Amino acid sequence: CATVTIDPPGSGIPTGTVTFTGPGVNETATLDATGQACVTTTTLESGTVTATYLGDTCAAGSSDTAEAVVDAADTTTTVTADPDPSVCGESVEI
């Protein structure tokens, strides 16, 4: 998520959208009533994600970055032989 705030002496809640770009993500979300925008993705990869707010009539645009670390899932590889057991000289499918 990204939160956009108006710096003092300004006030109010910014409106508009935030675009999230980076490895495996290119999504835009609308700011809610608190100035926060979030996206959900299943394609994010490790690397730098940039959140860019283009601004509205009362708030200038801005951007920030964060490092995303996505760990690879554990896997298991299983090998089987057919037939099992086999005898010497017999063809075996693996």
Residue 26: per-residue pLDDT: 98
The pTM for the full model equals 0.77
Is residue 29 within 8 Å of 62, Cβ to Cβ?
no
| pLDDT for residue 72 is more than 90 | no
What six digits make up the tokens of 4? 């956009």
State how far the Cα of 94 lies from the Cα of 83, in Å rounded to an integer. 9
Residue 71: per-residue pLDDT: 92
Query: What do you get for the CA distance between the two ends of the chain, in Å?
Result: 48
What value does the mean pLDDT take over residues 72-84?
Answer: 92
Residue 16: per-residue pLDDT: 98
What value does the mean pLDDT take over residues 11-40?
Answer: 97
Residue 31: per-residue pLDDT: 98
What six digits make up the tokens of 71? 């760990």
State how far the Cα of 60 lies from the Cα of 50, in Å rounded to an integer. 17
Residue located via tokens 């730098």: 48
